[in-house]
Chain A
Amino acid sequence: MNSNVWVLTFADGISIATTLILASLGAILTERSGVINLGIEGMLLMGAVTAFLVGDGTHNIWLALFLAVLVGMAMATVHAVLTITLRSNQIVSGLALVIFGTGLSQFIGKSVEGKPRPVRIEPIDFGALSDIPIIGPVVFNHDPITYLTWFGALIASWYLFRTRPGLVLRATGDAPATVDAQGVSVAAVRYAHTIAGGALVGLAGGWFMLARGTAWSQAATTNGIGWIALALVVFAAWRPLRAIAGAVLFGFLLQVPYTLQGQQIRIFPPEILQMLPYLATLAVLVVLSTPRARRLLGAPTMLGQPFVRDER
């Protein structure tokens, strides 16, 4: 085993991190407004199958990603109507979306189950830059969406902490009554950010299929990445820039089992290695739950609470 393998694993981890960053950015926007959407896993699957089917039919990557985004937005809209307007339980609504998305992606993807990926999002050609040791594969070997995602996290951070709408968004999650008293519609803010979050999650699913997936297989495509993204939101303390760091770490953990298998290193059986990312996520959640960490995190105060003006 040489050190080069670990550089490549790290580079792969950064690549997988794109999905995690996009999905957790979506979740951060949604949760900052006070809405928790547990449906991410189902939305990722729907985004993935949409991108696959559109890519299979048209061989147009951008159209495939665009429709994946629309599907993510549509599912987020369902969640928004149920939880914001109809005040349903946000937890159960999110779970219903997971079940619905799992079933529907399997249903509409049945005809292409096992079929290889029709189109691939290619890495940008940086020429000689990609050949620089370590930095080359880690920094200069990704596709446009990956770079846009890093940039998107910067924009999201600026939006949240440096703009007025971002301030209103944070206030909506922490003190909706105050926002309401200021004459801003709590429902409008929540709708906008839940749906925008859905767009990012849809893109995450579509990108994952066309950049990382090899073939469509409902059972193996996302493999719980949506749930890891949700845990990542806590890890990132609802801050977009920290989500990048967390996503790279989790992306690396997700990639390690494959690297070890590829290198014929059999210290642990592959099934045991596959448990690693989930156990590591759990361990991180535990550390973050200690009272000291909790004070520093600052979750949106009214997360998961419907806002009703009349009930006092």
Chain B
Amino acid sequence: MIIGRTRIELEPRLNSPKWLVVAVPLASVFLALSVGGIFLILNGHSPLHTYSKLLSSGYTTFYGITDTLGLATPLICTGLAAAFAFRMNLFNIGEEGQMYLGMIGGAWAGIALADHLPKLVAVPVVLAIGALTGGLWVLVPAVLRAKLGTSEIVSTLLLNYVALNLVNYFIFGSRGFFRDPSTSFPQGRAVSANARLGNFGTTNTYPTLIIAALLAILLWWFIRNSNYGYETSVYADSPNTARYAGMNATRLTISVLLVSGALAGLGGAMYVVGPAGKVDPGILQIGLGYAGIVVASLARYNFVAVVITAILFAGLRVGGAALQISSNPVPIAIAVVLQGSVLLFALGGEIFRRNRIRIRRIQPVVFSTGADA
């Protein structure tokens, strides 16, 4: 790019220096807070006061931290789901709907099966069936993408709206299996006590957090050490190379999308096993599936980084909820504005991490003619 007499050049780096790996995300967060600050001022709120309250309620108090860890649990799952698909350039953006289906599947198992099973078996069964239904929800987009090349972006997204209406139908539109029959108030039927895990003390943190974190480490290890992980990495870098090496692209595409859907579904089932204990339309309001995409992108599809990013993001949301309790409440949507802007700035910052910026002055070219000599 040339501006006046200076030329700005991008020179790809072979290795990005360590300080930039830290500096770029930090700068993104700072710039995002500044953008959020502008809108806060325009709406008559003090940015400094709002941010200090946001951060202190989400990250410093005991119940703030445990609320954050509780909310982070399903978010880790949707983040892993997005990371698992995105790193292979398969843009599954249907985590939201897959998570709802995981909740429905998990609740079904919790109501229909858990009473007949010992607790030690019931919880894993609920989680497994939630993962299964989440995976099945992405089956059609996955097969279409692998066999016909249909864009998985639009197809997975459209199914989010179908899943949303399905949850509404089960709770508000019908008096069926998932609806609590004992009251006319529309709410989900509680799952068996066998299908629930107790919270830690009086907090909102559940043991499922440990499962989610272990799963992230397991995935990280698996992708590095298994043949399957190697194949997905090759395919991610160059689908053609993968094809020449005899890897089965159809099988890889379908399986990666199914695992991604299953991870998101697991998040929904963890919501059942943990805080909800039923099909809870409250989950429709939190947008944990969409937030998972942001988390995965910021973590640059690294599974262990997903855990940390998810916890930081959940804190933002918990802090945002705390802002409601005030004489001049700041809309909780500020948390979503911050999520979106952090991602936008982080995307822009990538170029500085990947390239060295060179600024050169262009010397004016002087042609000498014979007459001057």
Interface residues of A (CB under 8 A from B): 38, 42, 78, 81-82, 85-89, 91-93, 95-104, 106-108, 110, 218, 223-224, 227-228, 230-231, 234, 269-272, 274-275, 278-279, 281-282, 285-286, 289-291, 294
Provided the pairs A100-B340, A270-B173 are in contact, do residues A82 and B347 lie with their beta carbons within 8 angstroms? Answer: yes
Question: B236 within 8 Å of A by Cβ?
Answer: no
Whether the Cβ atoms of B93 and A95 lie closer than 8 Å is yes
Query: Looking at the complex, which one of B153, B169, B334 makes contact with A91 (CB distance below 8 Å)?
Result: B153
B138 to chain A, nearest CB (A): 13
**Docked CA distance A218–B150 (Å):** 30
Whether the Cβ atoms of A106 and B144 lie closer than 8 Å is no
Question: B158 within 8 Å of A by Cβ?
Answer: yes
Provided the pairs A86-B351, A91-B91, A223-B161 are in contact, do residues A99 and B339 lie with their beta carbons within 8 angstroms? Answer: yes
Chain B residues near A231 (CB-CB < 8 A): 154, 158
Provided the pairs A88-B348, A108-B43, A227-B154 are in contact, do residues A271 and B173 lie with their beta carbons within 8 angstroms? Answer: yes
Chain B residues near A281 (CB-CB < 8 A): 154, 158
Q: Which of A78, A103, A286 has the most CB of B within 10 A?
A: A103
Q: Can you list 29 contacts pairing A with B, beta carbon distance less than 8 Å? A: A38-B153, A78-B344, A82-B348, A86-B351, A88-B348, A92-B86, A92-B297, A93-B344, A95-B343, A96-B340, A96-B347, A99-B293, A100-B336, A100-B343, A102-B290, A103-B333, A103-B335, A103-B340, A104-B337, A104-B340, A269-B169, A269-B173, A271-B168, A278-B161, A279-B158, A282-B140, A285-B144, A289-B150, A291-B148
Q: What is the interface of chain A mostly: helix, strand, loop, or mixed? A: helix
Query: Looking at the complex, which one of A89, A218, A272 makes contact with B165 (CB distance below 8 Å)?
Result: A272
Whether the Cβ atoms of A271 and B169 lie closer than 8 Å is yes
Whether the Cβ atoms of B144 and A289 lie closer than 8 Å is yes
Query: Looking at the complex, which one of A86, A234, A289 makes contact with B148 (CB distance below 8 Å)?
Result: A289
Whether the Cβ atoms of A99 and B165 lie closer than 8 Å is no
Whether the Cβ atoms of B347 and A271 lie closer than 8 Å is no
Q: How many of chain B's residues have a CB under 8 angstroms from any CB in A? A: 51
A108 to chain B, nearest CB (A): 7
Question: B62 within 8 Å of A by Cβ?
Answer: no
A298 to chain B, nearest CB (A): 14
Whether the Cβ atoms of A107 and B169 lie closer than 8 Å is no
Whether the Cβ atoms of A106 and B348 lie closer than 8 Å is no
Chain A residues near B337 (CB-CB < 8 A): 100, 103-104, 107
Chain A residues near B165 (CB-CB < 8 A): 271-272, 274-275
Query: Looking at the complex, which one of B1, B148, B160 makes contact with A286 (CB distance below 8 Å)?
Result: B148
Chain B residues near A270 (CB-CB < 8 A): 173
**Docked CA distance A48–B161 (Å):** 20
B195 to chain A, nearest CB (A): 26
Cβ proximity bits B266-304 to A, threshold 8 Å, 1 near / 0 not? 000000000000000000000100110110010000000
B253 to chain A, nearest CB (A): 14
Chain A residues near B293 (CB-CB < 8 A): 95, 99
Chain A residues near B249 (CB-CB < 8 A): none
Query: Looking at the complex, which one of A86, A103, A228 makes contact with B350 (CB distance below 8 Å)?
Result: A86
Chain B residues near A108 (CB-CB < 8 A): 39, 42-43
Chain B residues near A96 (CB-CB < 8 A): 294, 297, 340, 343-344, 347
A176 to chain B, nearest CB (A): 16
Chain A residues near B204 (CB-CB < 8 A): none
Query: Looking at the complex, which one of B1, B91, B151, B340 makes contact with A99 (CB distance below 8 Å)?
Result: B340
Cβ proximity bits B198-224 to A, threshold 8 Å, 1 near / 0 not? 000000000000000000000000000
B358 to chain A, nearest CB (A): 12
Q: Which of B172, B294, B333 has the most CB of A within 10 A?
A: B333
Question: B193 within 8 Å of A by Cβ?
Answer: no
Whether the Cβ atoms of A87 and B340 lie closer than 8 Å is no
Whether the Cβ atoms of B150 and A101 lie closer than 8 Å is no
B345 to chain A, nearest CB (A): 9
Q: Which of B1, B86, B335, B343 has the most CB of A within 10 A?
A: B343
Question: B341 within 8 Å of A by Cβ?
Answer: yes
Whether the Cβ atoms of A88 and B341 lie closer than 8 Å is no
Cβ proximity bits B336-373 to A, threshold 8 Å, 1 near / 0 not? 11111101100110110000000000000000000000
**Docked CA distance A132–B113 (Å):** 62
**Docked CA distance A275–B162 (Å):** 5
**Docked CA distance A106–B320 (Å):** 13
**Docked CA distance A42–B297 (Å):** 18
**Docked CA distance A98–B91 (Å):** 15
Whether the Cβ atoms of A88 and B161 lie closer than 8 Å is no
Whether the Cβ atoms of B159 and A106 lie closer than 8 Å is no
Whether the Cβ atoms of B347 and A92 lie closer than 8 Å is yes
Chain A residues near B144 (CB-CB < 8 A): 285-286, 289
- With contacts A107-B39, A228-B158, A271-B166 known, what are 4 further pairs, Cβ within 8 A? A82-B348, A91-B153, A107-B337, A271-B168
**Docked CA distance A161–B338 (Å):** 42
Cβ proximity bits B111-144 to A, threshold 8 Å, 1 near / 0 not? 0000000000000000000000000000010001
**Docked CA distance A102–B289 (Å):** 14
Chain B residues near A103 (CB-CB < 8 A): 333-340
Question: B157 within 8 Å of A by Cβ?
Answer: yes
**Docked CA distance A281–B151 (Å):** 12
Cβ proximity bits B87-105 to A, threshold 8 Å, 1 near / 0 not? 0000101000000000000
**Docked CA distance A230–B149 (Å):** 16
Whether the Cβ atoms of A285 and B150 lie closer than 8 Å is yes
Whether the Cβ atoms of B162 and A107 lie closer than 8 Å is no
Chain A residues near B151 (CB-CB < 8 A): 234, 285
A77 to chain B, nearest CB (A): 12
Query: Looking at the complex, which one of A91, A106, A227 makes contact with B336 (CB distance below 8 Å)?
Result: A106
Query: Looking at the complex, which one of A91, A106, A285 makes contact with B155 (CB distance below 8 Å)?
Result: A285
Chain A residues near B42 (CB-CB < 8 A): 108
**Docked CA distance A271–B167 (Å):** 9
Whether the Cβ atoms of A104 and B150 lie closer than 8 Å is no
Question: B181 within 8 Å of A by Cβ?
Answer: no
A27 to chain B, nearest CB (A): 11
